[in-house]
Amino acid sequence: MDEKALIAAARQGDTTAFNHLVLQYQDMAYTVAYRIMSDPHAAADATQEAFISAYQGLPRFRGGSFKAWLMRIVTNACYDELRRRKRHPQSSLDALHVEEPMPASPLNPSVESPEEYAERQELSRLLQVGIALLPDDQRVVLVLSDVQGFSYQEIAEAMGVPRGTVKSRLHRARARLRDYLQDREELLRARYRLASRASMQG
């Protein structure tokens, strides 16, 4: 069954069809939630809540991009959790803690040395900390665009904002992240300094 057929079946209460949709999007949903929350447990909870909400809300889905519709539910679940945390803040030390970055598969495991792997992990950790320090709305736009590769239109639909707002938030988010990385260049090897600069341009 193609996606439209799965959605149609799931709207009729077919849980097997919905489970196929879950399998298709669960990795993307979790990655978005993790990059927003910087906490694997909170990301897993937000992802689970999002899929429950999506199943309950399927009768109200009116077509268009299912991916954007689902990611809007995921980001809303993350926003709800972030707002809850602001109402019930943790201690200052806990608030500064960021989980270890998601493990990344080497681009070429046959030639990557342990030192290169460690360097790449350090860059990933710095990026995750930098993303976690962004304002919520900028963080979501950056994750959807630069981590997940969403188009401006898909992000606009997922966040319920105009495309112009997406572009301005993304520009500010990239500038903040670039400044964060440049302030910590001494922690990066030369090739990653160049890579981080290049990734923040354009």
The per-residue pLDDT for 140 is: 92
> What is the residue-averaged pLDDT of the chain?
81
pLDDT at 55 over 90: yes
Question: Exposed, middle or buried by CB within 10 Å (0-12, 13-18, 19+), for 169?
Answer: buried
pLDDT at 155 over 80: yes
The per-residue pLDDT for 173 is: 95
Domain definitions of the chain by residue range: 3-87, 111-200
The per-residue pLDDT for 116 is: 73
Tell me what percent of the residues of the chain surpass a pLDDT of 70. Answer: 79
Is-above-0.75 flag for pTM? no
User: How many helices (H) does the chain have, and how many strands (E)?
Assistant: 10, 0
> Model confidence at 29, in pLDDT bands (50, 70, 90)?
very high
Pick the CATH number of 3-87 from 1.20.1440.60, 1.10.1740.10, 3.40.50.1100, 3.80.10.10: 1.10.1740.10
DSSP letter string, 71-133: HHHHHHHHHHHHHHHHHS---HHHHH--PPPPP---SSTTT--HHHHHHHHHHHHHHHHHHHT
CATH 1.10.10.10 fits 111-200, yes or no: yes
